[in-house]
Structure formats: C-alpha cells, structure tokens
Structure 1
Amino acid sequence: MALAVVIGAGAGVGSIVFRWCIKAFTRLFSGHADYAAAAGTDNPHVPWLGPYFVLLAPVIGGLLYGPLVNRFAKEARGHGVPEVMLAVAQRGGRISPKVAVVKTLASALCIGSGGSVGREGPIVQIGSALGSTLGRLTKVTDGRLKLLVACGAAAGIAATFNAPLAGVFFAMELILGTFSAEAFGATVLASVTASVIGRAAFGNVAFLRLPDFHVDHLAQYGLFAALGVGAAGAGVGFARFLYLVEDACDWLWRGPEWLRPAAGGLALGLVLLFLPQMYGVGYPVLEKATEGGYAAGFLLLLLAGKMLATSLTIGIGGSGGVFAPSLFIGAMLGSAYGIGVHHLLPSSAGAVGAYALVGMGAVFAGAARAPITAVVILFELTGEYSIILPLMLAIVLATATSHLLSPDTVYTLKLRRRGIDLEGPAQGARLGSQLVGSVMDPLPTPLPASTTLADSAALLSRSGHGALPVVDDAGAYIGVVTAQAVAEALAEEPQAAPTRVGRLAEPPAPVTADQSLAQALNALLAAAGTGMPVLDPGHGEPVGWLSHQSALRAVHART
C-alpha cells in the first residue's frame, strides 16, 4: 500500500512533466498552445512559411525522437499499452526504467510536432515503468510487481485525465485482466494520490467541457443502440486500418529505423496541410464537433482523416496513444449520426451532442473491448451523468458486436501480429506448450449427486485433491464439489443446509484435453480446490484430472 502511494505520487509528477513537455514542444513547432484550435493559421515563429510549416514540423520532430527511441528504448515506439500488457502477462511485470524518460520525450516531441496520437498510451507506459522500477528496487514478488505496474498505469491515467475511477478500471480491466480486492485497493491508492497531484496542477474540472445533454424521448434508446452497433464496426475498422498502414510503411521503408519517422513525417505533413485539424491530439476539434460546429460531410472527412493521420503517425515509428484518436473518431461518427437522425426524426432525435458523447465511448469499447473502462472514463472525462443509461447501452452493444467482428482488440492485435498470445506461454517458456491430455492425471472416482454431506466429507478427506467431480443418477457430469464447500455447508444450521452433495456442485471453467497447458493454467488458477476435471472435446465428459502438481511434472518431463 505504501509503494502504491509512492508510485501514485511519481506518476502524478510524471504526468505534469509530460503535459508540460507536450505544450512546450507544440509551441516550439507550431507557435500555438494547441494548433488544432487554430487550424490553418501561420506559425508566428516562421510567418513567411504560412500554413506550409506543417510539412516540415513532423520531419524535424522525427529527426529528434527517431534516433532517441532507436538508440535507448525501442519499446517506446508505438502506442505503449500493448507493451505494458505483455510485460504483465509474460515478463513478470519487468519494464526497463529507461522507458519512462524516453517515452516522455519521444511522445511529447511526436505530438508537439504534429503527430496525431493521444497521450494516454505514453502516460500508461511511463507510470508502469515507474511502478516496475520501484518494485524491483524493493525486491517484491512477481505477483506484487505486476500489481505495482498496474498501479503506475492507473495513476498515469488518473493524473492526466483527472479521472481516478477510470484509472483504476483501466488498470484492472486492460492491464491486469482481473479484479480482486487487493488490486482494487492498491490501484485506488495510487490513482487517488496521482489525482490529488494532478488536480493541484491542472485544477479540479472535467477534462472535456461539453454542454448538458438529456434523453427526452424513449425512442432515442433505439437510436443509441443502433449507434453502438455501428460504432463497433468503426472501432474494429480503425484497429485493422491502423495495422494495415503500419504494414504498408514496413514494406515501403528500406532505410535505417532511426530515420524512418523523419522520412515518413513528410507524408504526415501532407495530411496536416489538407486537414490541419489533425495536428496533435485534437481535443478542441472534438469539443467543437459535440457542440454542432461542423456539417455532417465534414465530420465524416475528419473521421477518415483521423484514421489516416493516426495510422501514419504510428506506422512511421511515432510514439503516442490510440485512446484519444478512438474518442475523436467516435465523436465525429456520433455527431454525423446525430445530424442524420435529427433530420429524419426531428421530434424525437434529441441533441446532436448526445450522440457524439455516446459515440466516443462506443468506438473506444469497440476498439479496446473494455466496457467498464469506457463507461467510467466517459463519465469522468465529461462529468455528464444524465446520459449514463444510453451510454451503457451503446457500449455494451459495441463490445458484443466487436467480439463477433474480431477476436482481437486494438491492443492485442499488435501483439498477435508479432506471434505473441497473451494467454499463451512466453516465447521459449518450458511450461505451457504441452497439451493438457498429455499431462493430466487419471480422473478420481466421481461422487454421485445423491451422496450425503457426511459421506462426501469422508471421501474428500481421503482423496488428496480438495475437490471431486460430481455426476447425476444417470452418470452424467454436472460439476465439481470442493472440500471447502462441504465444510461450510456442514457448519450451517441443519434446517438451512443442503443434505446432498449435488446441491453444492458447480462446473468450473471448461478445460479440454486438446487445449494447451498455458490456456488451461488460467482456469486452474481460478478454480477452487487443488485441481479440476479435464473434459473430452467432443462430448464434454470428464476424462482426466488436471492439478498444479501434474502441470509442474510437465516441466520435469522436458528436463
């Protein structure tokens, strides 16, 4: 808990430094605090170039951050969150301390010189690197080290966006991939500490200033639901297009990697010349869209332009996040959709801005597949509670539709393309690639569902497993009963306690004989007792028993 507070403080200070660097470099390269708010104007530092300075800004920025990333921390390239997820899943939470410094400078230079990316990915990687470094200095266990990495991620999000709850859920849903009381407590401490520091520096205001929105007609829920489904397609399409452009950049570039951001910066500069609203993160443009400041056709042009500009920035080797671009894309899609339905159904469509807000959350949910984070972060970023119900509806539908459209998210797809499966073993690991059927033990004698609790207790005490499979009167498998469940039932009042063990049987997560051991380990760790049944892949009946000991014997067999 003390380490979580220290990490929160460090990430809070880091976020202040990072945002200051972005502002300083933006002023240096564009002459404005945020060029997207003054799109198309001249740079007062070089007025003789007119708006054409945007052709040179990404090139000069690339000449600065390209060698920096290539020389000191190659993992600082790209949008950052996948690297943190990989470190937690397969590297014990170990992240090089150099990443925090290099990511701060590289991402600030990239965004300040026109890179059309967000700042959440960098701050997550910066905070996570701080957490990992502190954890290794204090020699905590691997489990605690992963938790400290998540604390750094939560603190970074909380301080940067003034969103303490969103930071907590981002860390647990995307970084840890699990929820627990310990993880919640530690990430809350880090997030609150970082938020206090962030609010002292940036003020206690919602990150985006949006007008009030309300749902005035029940028919709007159907319109929001349709938007959620469409936003899922936009989110998945954004992820696919992002890596399609990255592949194209890989195929086209044949020079040294350190020069790639500068060479590709010319292509990005051409995009910025035609659509200067793509310069940097683009929150002023997003806010104007939610206020109805653009026509529907131009909104769709901005949507396509953001996809291209962000994909180019990442593809040429830039450093920055994809969360803010997904919000931008969602706002453009939602605003255009809102304008359309307002023309079709003027009496029941409602405010256009409400669709922009819902579109923001739904596109992020479709791209990242993190519905809890999407709901919470949109609420905290905007301070809008009045639209929480349609927001939840659209986000859930976007998440479900995204599952149908793609097995991967915008984060996991980057790793999958490198041959990395977060649920599988790390490359070269001695444990995980074996099939469950090759390491499982014989199936213990199942308990009939009609067995009394007293008899079940005796059989469980002699089994050595702490859990046994249970079958019904016809011999069909119905679940597993644990010694703990039987002991708790025996401790209840006789009138309230079940009398037969079948009432206590619960099926664990299914593990089949043809699965890899790495996939089965997640279910084994979550299962009660010391083991679980292995099912036949064709009929779903138990054919063996997987325990922690049988998994470890697989390592002995290979050595």
Structure 2
Amino acid sequence: MRAIARHRFRLLRHQARRAAALRAMVRTSEVAVVALAVLTGAVAGLLAWGMGTAARVLHILLYGIGPEIRLSAAFFVADWRLLLVPALGGLALYGLNNLLRRWRPKPPVDPIEANAMHGGRLSLTDAAVVGAQTILSNGVGASVGLEAGYAQAGGGFASRLGLFFALRRGDLRVLVGAGTAGAIGAAFDAPLTGAFYAFELVIGSYGVAALFPVVASAVTAVLVARALEAGTYAVETLATGPVGNELYPLALLVGLLCGLSAILLMRGVALTEGLLARAIPPAWLRLMLGGLCVGGLAMVSTVALSAGHGALHLAFVTETPARLVLLLMLVKAAASMISVASGFRGGLFFASLLIGALGGKLFAGLVALVLPPGPDPLVLSLVGMSAFGAAVIGAPLAMTFLALETTGSLAVAGLVLAAVAVAGLIVRRLFGYNFATWRFHLRGEAIRSAHDVGWINDLTAGRLMRRDPRSVPAGMTPAAFRQAVPLGAATHAVLLDEQGRYAGLVSVPEVHAAPPETATLAMLARQRDRMLLPGTNAREAMAMFEASEAEALAVVDGPNRRVLGLLTEAHLLRRYGEEIDRRRREEAGIGPG
C-alpha cells in the first residue's frame, strides 16, 4: 500500500510539474496566447449558435410561427399570444431570477467591468446566469437582444481559460476581449465588427499586442458559426445605389440627429426605470406589466418584439410610407425602453440598429418630399443604422465595419464613417456615456470605458506605505526629540496623543531648527486632520497630497486613528509612474505584463 501511495504521489507531482511548465510556456509565448484565442473563438461561435437557436426555439413554440419566420417580421400572430406570452414571460423571468439569486447572490460582472476593474477576471457562473436571463427575455418577446449573453459567454470562457494558464493581467484582458470579439462576430457573421467591438468596448484601446488574438478569435468564431449555419443576427441588404458627394452633408445631418436621439433614448430608459420602480415596487408585477405593455405595442406592430432582426431586413428591402416608418420607430423605441426598464435582461445593440435604420429611412423620405426624387433610402438607412448604433453602443469603428461587411461597399463605408464620427462626437460632448457605461453610472460605478483602472484601486495606501514610521509623543520637548531622532535618521515623525492616537506629523529638520520657546512638538504639528486610510487608492491619495500641500501623510485605521504607516508623495508618484509605464508597455506589446 505504501508503494502504491508513493507511486501516486510521484505521478501527481510529475503531472503538476508538467502543468506548471505548460503554464510557463503559455505565459511567455505570444503565439500560445493566439492559440488560446483560436480555441476561445471556436467555443464562442458554438455558444453564440446555441444561444441563438434556443431563443429561436422559444419564439417558434410560444408564438406559433414557422422556423423560417423572424418574430419581429411575423404578420400573423394571435392577439392573445402577443399579450400573454411577454406578460407570463416576465413572471417566468422573475422566478428564474429568484432561483439564480440563491445560486449566485452577487450581481454578475460583465466583460467591460471585468476588464476595467478586475483585470479580466470573469466567472463562468455569471456567464450562465446572464445567458439564461437573456435567452428567456428574448425568447418571450421582450425588446432586447442577446448580445449581452453572447459577450458574457465568450468573455467568461476566455477568462476561465486565461486564469487556468495563469496569464498576466494584460494578456488576460486581451483574451477576454478576444472572447467577446468571437461571440459578436459569430452573432453578426461579421469578423471585423466583432474585432472592433472588442477593441472599442471591452479592451478599451487599439494595440498591436491585442490585434492577433482578437482577429484570430473573431475569424474562428465566424467560421464555426457558418459551419453550423447559424446566421444568428446576420444583417442582409439589397445592393446600394451610387454614393455621390452630395450625400455627405445629408449623412452628417443624419449623424447629428442620431446622436441627439440616442441621448434621448438612453435617458428615457433611466427615467422609465425610475418611474416604474417608484410606481410599481414589486419586481414580479413590474416585469409582468412591462411584458404586457410590450405585448400591447406588438399588437400595433410585431416590430416591438425581440431584437428586431426580421424587421431590420424588411426595412432594407421594402418601400414604406414615412408615417408608417415613424410609427414603427416609436413603437420599437418604446418597447425597448419598457423592456429594459421593467427588468428584462438584454442589450440595445440590435434594437439601436433597427431604430437607426428606420430613422435613416424616414429622413430619406422627408428629403424626397422637399427635393424629389430624394436620396437612396437604403443608403441613408445604412447610415442611420450605423450612426445610431455607434451613439448608443459606443463603438464607432465596429459600426462602420458592420456597414462595410453588410454591403461590401467602400463608398458606403466612407459615408457611414462620417455620420458615425458626428454621432459619436455629439454623444461624447453632450452626454459622456454609451449605454453600457451609462448603466454603470446609474449603479454608482465610475467606469467610462474598459481602460484598465482596476490596478489603481489595487495600488492603495496600505500597500505603498512604510509600516515602521518613527513615532513620538506629541507632548515631547524638541530637545528630547533631537536626542532621540538625529538629523538624517528620518524625514518625518508621527505624533501620538496620550491614548496612542494620531495627532499630526512633524518634519525632523524643522524640529531641529525650532526656536527655544517651542515647548512641545504639538506646537509644530501639521496635517492633524489630514490622513489616509489603508484602502485609499493612488489617485485619491495624490489628490489629497495636492490639496494638503504635504510631502508625507500618515495612514490610519479609521475612526480610532491608530497609525498603521507613513506614505510620502515622492514614493507614491514613483510607484504610480512605474505602473502607468507598465500598462502602456503591455498595450504596445513591447514588454512583460
């Protein structure tokens, strides 16, 4: 028995050594990270196919439509289904949320937040929770897309894979971005769209180090989705007409209108959410009534239901009167606001594309009334789709590439790029958020993008402080201090009162130069009410140093004012600069993470 136990121990030790060697190889090899991204892309494509299929099956079963029909383009759905399915679906989602809350009481962390605050650490449990919620919400007809679930699933798998191989913080963030790139690329059958979605929203920057993993994942995911014949959200259009220079002023105006309208939509979601929360406190009733309202809007037009893929296709290929286009746009916007505000889980990615396309088509129709025959409605629909999507989602280049991959026309892409730039500038200057960061803001999170700011929170006064500062009683005389602390022994000393609590700081050279009439050190004390807590991050500490004009500050444990250490401004600035340089080198791919 002992021989068997020794053999097993040697075998386990050998396996552990091999695993450690494999992790070390992956950590130090850029090619290995790309290989992980390819694996991530394959899994993301499979997950996107599975989630899209699950939602489609729910549409078929619950609404009685054929497998070839998209819900938002269905012409014949019984009124009782339109009213009951979203309402009862809201109750079902409430029950699912309660079950999931017992399993996972903490709110899920999404890929943007994970990359911004947690160095790319995501939970597969969160991916399962968000995936189930989005599939059910979309499946019962709520006006939300599956993009949040796709991104969560791809990012969650990528994070777990990266943590298994103990990737550095920078590489882990890139791999999470690659996972979301694969998921979005597979969903839209658009690898460039997925890649730039990851760069702009999940990684927060364009870097050489991130290029190869992100592109590899996006392309692999799209190939997997095509092999499975997913076509989840693939945008289809007719061939566009010629694009002349006279369309550029119209495109810029469409971009301006889309930017302003996107701000109204995002603020409308927050306002509706606040009103519903105050008027209908029970969450189950809020979800049920929200679903009932969506069903009522669907009785006007089924464009209100689900993400709107079928309706977007019809918007591109059919002629529609301007009044009807305006009605459809308002119905979709109202359904999306109510769905998100009442508690259904999902994103506004695809809904914003549909609203923007309808808006561009409406604009083309109005121009045609004034200056017949007017511009090509399809071209301005594509411009509106991309500009409004960029304004809401916050990914201008991703939306430009979506138009390019949809049409294959560089001329249309140039027109779209101009409109997207205007829409993005309007939202950036007048609002300052995209929909994801706006939701973070409403929750009290100070996240404006996926730029890695989590390391700032990790760089705290508690970690940077000197833990053995020279401390003396505040009632000590300068003469006694000069004998106890000679010049050069320290730059600052911490004063303690009779109870051992913090009472201020003194400069050692200043005490040595104190006039004879100085009775106690308390007369020379500074920063009596200025101190740091162990959890104060580097940015907050720098602001406090600047406000107090101090060279050093004590770190105390809180209300008890027990001294834990001393932090100097010079040391803080040096460590902060080193960390910034390290992050820049990571992004540029020219140094270790």
Cα distance in structure 1, aligned partners of 2:233 and 2:460: 45
| 1:152 match | 179
| 2:79 match | 51
TM-score (ref. length: structure 2) = 0.68
**Matched letter for residue 35 of structure 1:** L
Cα distance in structure 2, aligned partners of 1:432 and 1:399: 35
Cα distance in structure 2, aligned partners of 1:120 and 1:37: 20
Asked if 1:105 corresponds to 2:138, the answer is no
- 1:6-57: CA deviations, max 9, x gaps? 1111111101111110110001110114222223x23xxxxxxx32211110
Closer/same/farther in 2, CA of residues 384 and 217 from structure 1, 3 Å limit: closer
Which of 201, 204, 207 aligns to 1:177? It is 204
| 1:486 match | none
Closer/same/farther in 2, CA of residues 155 and 550 from structure 1, 3 Å limit: closer
- 1:291-318: CA deviations, max 9, x gaps? 3432111111111111111111111211
Which runs of 5 or more structure 2 residues have no equivalent in the other structure?
Answer: 1-33, 463-536, 543-568, 580-593
Closer/same/farther in 2, CA of residues 297 and 170 from structure 1, 3 Å limit: same
Closer/same/farther in 2, CA of residues 75 and 111 from structure 1, 3 Å limit: farther
Q: Post-superposition shift, 1:231?
A: 1.1
Which of 291, 301, 305 aligns to 1:275? It is 301
Q: RMSD of aligned C-alpha atoms?
A: 3.2
**Matched letter for residue 290 of structure 1:** F
Equivalent residue runs for 1:37-76 within 5 Å: 37-39=73-75, 41-42=76-77, 50-72=78-100
Equivalent residue runs for 1:521-536 within 5 Å: none
Closer/same/farther in 2, CA of residues 351 and 272 from structure 1, 3 Å limit: same
Contact 1:236–1:410 (CA under 8 A) maintained in structure 2: no
Of the structure 1 ranges 286-295 and 151-160, higher mean CA displacement relative to structure 2 is found in: 286-295
TM-score (ref. length: structure 1) = 0.72
Closer/same/farther in 2, CA of residues 61 and 229 from structure 1, 3 Å limit: same
Cα distance in structure 2, aligned partners of 1:432 and 1:406: 31
Closer/same/farther in 2, CA of residues 122 and 427 from structure 1, 3 Å limit: same
Secondary structure of the residue that 2:384 maps to in structure 1?
A: helix
Cα distance in structure 2, aligned partners of 1:3 and 1:335: 43
Secondary structure of the residue that 1:56 maps to in structure 2?
A: helix
- 1:157-208: CA deviations, max 9, x gaps? 1111111111111101111111211211111111111111011112789922
- 1:59-108: CA deviations, max 9, x gaps? 2222333332343269999x99x832111111222222122223333212
Secondary structure of the residue that 1:387 maps to in structure 2?
A: helix
- 1:243-285: CA deviations, max 9, x gaps? 2112222222322x46643343222222222332211122222
Which runs of 5 or more structure 1 residues have no equivalent in the other structure?
Answer: 43-49, 435-515, 522-542, 554-559
Cα distance in structure 1, aligned partners of 2:171 and 2:209: 10
| 1:246 match | 273
Closer/same/farther in 2, CA of residues 413 and 211 from structure 1, 3 Å limit: same
**Matched letter for residue 25 of structure 1:** L
Cα distance in structure 2, aligned partners of 1:182 and 1:233: 35
Closer/same/farther in 2, CA of residues 127 and 73 from structure 1, 3 Å limit: farther
Secondary structure of the residue that 2:206 maps to in structure 1?
A: coil
Secondary structure of the residue that 2:239 maps to in structure 1?
A: coil
Equivalent residue runs for 1:446-525 within 5 Å: 517-518=538-539
| 1:161 match | 188
**Matched letter for residue 62 of structure 1:** G
Cα distance in structure 1, aligned partners of 2:181 and 2:341: 27
Cα distance in structure 2, aligned partners of 1:74 and 1:379: 45
| 2:161 match | 134
Contact 2:240–2:407 (CA under 8 A) maintained in structure 1: no
- 1:424-453: CA deviations, max 9, x gaps? 96699464799xxxxxxxxxxxxxxxxxxx
Contact 1:365–1:395 (CA under 8 A) maintained in structure 2: yes
Contact 2:456–2:538 (CA under 8 A) maintained in structure 1: no
Asked if 1:396 corresponds to 2:421, the answer is yes
| 1:410 match | 435
The structure having more radius of gyration, on CA atoms, is 2
In the alignment of these two chains, the number of paired residues is 439
**Matched letter for residue 213 of structure 1:** T
